[in-house]
Structure 1
Amino acid sequence: MSREKEEAELVREALRVGALYMKKRGAGEFEPTDGAGAKVRALYRLLVHDGLIQPLAKGQDNERNMKHKLALWIERQLPEGHPLKT
């Protein structure tokens, strides 16, 4: 599987798990009409705020880099042997 496809699947999983985290934490929830970009930004900002991921450097905070950070975050959360874990 290509690295880009793998990262896209990790981001999808991060958004799924992140939505549960947001709801459990009481920080809101995603609406069905929310776009993927809005979800990525909201989850990234929440995880940075909570200290679960390091913020991107100034000027590097674009959607592509945020997705990469979310993919790295969820990859660390997955159990050993999970199909998405490399």
Structure 2
Amino acid sequence: MKKLKNESALLKKAIQIGETYAKNRGYSGFSATNAAKEKIEALYRLLVNDKLIHPLPADQEDLLSMKHKLALWIAKQLPDDHPLLK
């Protein structure tokens, strides 16, 4: 798995946009006390369920891989000239 440039910033953006997406879908499970780990897993599963990202193989489903998948997802959603992609 090749690490993306600005992967941590992309992950932060993915969580932010993913939370908005989840709320628009009717999910109200996020609160200020939720750990990032819980948010990442919930967003990953929601995006897989909605077929917006391909699922990881069951034996590779760990937090690091989920973070990477979310960063890849948001990188594809952002415009080419976005500062996080440079």
Scaled by the length of structure 1, the TM-score of the pair is 0.91
Superposition misfits of 4+ residues, deviation over 4 angstroms: none
Q: CA RMSD in A?
A: 1.4
- Match in the other structure for 2:60: 60
Note if 1:39 corresponds to 2:39.
Answer: yes
> What secondary structure does 1:26 align onto?
coil
Q: CA deviation at 1:70?
A: 0.1
CA displacement at 1:80 relative to structure 2:
1.9
Match of 1:26 in 2: 26
Sequence identity percentage: 49
Q: CA deviation at 1:25?
A: 1.1
Letter in 2 for 1:41: E
Q: Higher relative contact order at CA 8 Å, sep ≥6: structure 1 or structure 2?
A: 2
1:33 & 1:59 partners in 2: Cα distance? 29
Q: What secondary structure, in the 3-state scheme, does the structure 1 residue paired with 2:59 have?
A: coil
Once the 2 structures are TM-superposed, how far is the Cα of residue 28 of structure 1 from its aligned partner? 2.2
Question: What are the superposed Cα offsets for residues 28-84 of structure 1, whole Å, 9 maximum, x if unpaired?
Answer: 241000001000000000000000000000110000000000000000000120011
The TM-score with structure 2 as length reference comes to 0.91
Contact 2:41 2:63 in 1 (8 A): yes
Q: State the secondary structure of the residue aligned to 1:47.
A: helix
Distance 1:24 1:58 in 2: 28
Matched-pair contact (CA < 8 Å) for 1:19–1:29: no
